Amino acid sequence: MEAYNVILGVDVSKRTLDISCAERLEHIQIENSSKGFSVLKKWCKSHEINVRESLVILEYTGGYEYRFLQFCTAHQIAFCRISGLEIKRSMGMIRGKNDKVDSFRIGQYGEEKIKRLELSKPLNNNILKIRQLLSFRKRLVREKAGFIATIKERRYMYQVSQKDTVIRIGTKKVKQNEQYIQEIEAEIIALIKADASMYQNYRILTSIKGIGPINAWMTLAYTENFTSFENARQYAVFVGVIPFEHRSGTSIKGKNRVSHMANKELKQELNQAAKTAIIHDPEIHTYAERLLKRKDYSLVLNNVKFKLILRMFSLVKRGEMYVENYKRVA
C-alpha cells in the first residue's frame, strides 16, 4: 500500500461520524450527511490535512457508512473497511467505550496495520439500490404479517364477517403489500440481471440446495457481490455463525460464543436455508445426522449455515454451478 500522510479513524453510526487522527490527537464529530461532510472538509483544511493524501479507516457496518463512502469516492479519498470484530480482537482487553475513543482506536489500528491493509473498492450503485429495496421489502413483509395476524385474531375473537370494516381494510392492505413486494422483487432481479458478474453469481448461489432467491439477494448485497470479504470465514464471522473461544488465563473459561456484533438479520435468513438443505441435500443431511449424535440441534444448524457459506464462496470463486454428486452409503 502506498504511503499516506494522514490516517483518519472513523467510528460510524446512523446519525453521526466520529473522526480522529490518532497521531495528532485531533477529533471531530459530524453529521452523517452532506452537511456534515462539508464541515469535515473545512476541518481538514483548517488542520492542514490533504484529504487526497489521507487514508480513511472505518468499520464495515453493512449500511450506515455508505453515504460517507460515496463522499470519499467523489473526492478521491482512499478508504479501507475493516471488520469491527477484527479491530476489537486486535486491541486485546480494553476498558471504556464511546464513539470518540473508538475512532481513535480505529485510527491506531490503521497506523499499526498499514503495511498489510488493502484499499477497499468503490461502491457499486446497483448494490446500494438492492440494499435499499431489500430493506423496504422487509418492512412491507412485516407490515403484511401484522395485518394477517390482526385479521385472524379479529375473526377468532369476534367471529365477524368479511364485511367487517377492520377485516375489509386489512384484507385490502395485505393484497396491496403483496403487489408492492412483487414489484420490488422484480426490480431487484432487473438490477441483478443488468450486471453480468452479479447475475452469474446469483445463478451460482441459487443452484445450491437451500439457497433461494431472498438468501441469494441478501448475500450479494451484503458481500457487495463477493468483493467486501476476502473469504468465507470473514463473512461467517460477520453473519455470526462462527463461535469464538472465551477464556482468560486459567481462571476464566466460558463457552464458545458468536460475537454480539454479528448481523442477526442475515443469520436468521440462513436459518431456513440450513433447514431446507438438511432435508433436501443428501450430503448435508448425512453431515447433520452425524453431528446430531453429539451436538444440540441449534449448534448443528449453525454448522450447516457455515457449510453453506463455505460452499457459496467456493463456487463463486471457481465460477461453477453446484452439482450434486454425493451418493449416500447404505
- Verify that 240 and 295 share a domain, yes or no: yes
Range with the largest mean pLDDT of 56-60, 64-68, 140-144, 153-157: 140-144
Same-domain check for residues 136 and 68 = no
Question: What's the rounded Cα separation, in Å, for the pair 264 and 244?
Answer: 16
Q: What share of the chain in percent tops pLDDT 70?
A: 88
| 246 has a pLDDT exceeding 70 | no
Mean pLDDT for the chain overall: 89
Total structural domains within the chain = 3
Q: Are 240 and 258 in contact (CB under 8 A)?
A: yes
Cα→Cα distances 42→12, 13, 47, Å:
20, 21, 9
pLDDT, average across residues 18-40: 96
Half-sphere exposure of 293 (CA within 13 A, CB side): 5
pLDDT band with cut points at 50, 70 and 90 for residue 250: very low
Contacts of 308 (CB under 8 A, 6+ apart): 208, 210, 211, 270, 273, 274, 277, 284
Query: Domain ends where: 113, 147, 176?
Result: 113
What is the percentage of the chain residues whose pLDDT exceeds 90?
73
CA–CA separation, 88 and 92 (whole Å): 7
**45 vs 105: CA distance, rounded Å:** 23
In this predicted model, which residue has the larger pLDDT, 281 or 62? Answer: 281
Is residue 96 over pLDDT 70? no
Residue span of the structural domain in which 230 resides: 222-318
Whether residues 183 and 239 share a domain: the answer is: no
Nine-digit cell at 233? 470465514
Judge whether 209 lies within some domain. no
- The pLDDT tens digits of the residues spanning 144-155 come to 999 999 999 999
Which pTM value belongs to this model? 0.84
- 214 in any annotated domain: no
Position 300 confidence tier, pLDDT thresholds 50, 70, 90: very high
Higher-confidence residue of 177 and 229: namely: 177
Inside any domain, residue 204:
no
- Shared domain for 89 and 68, answered yes or no, is yes
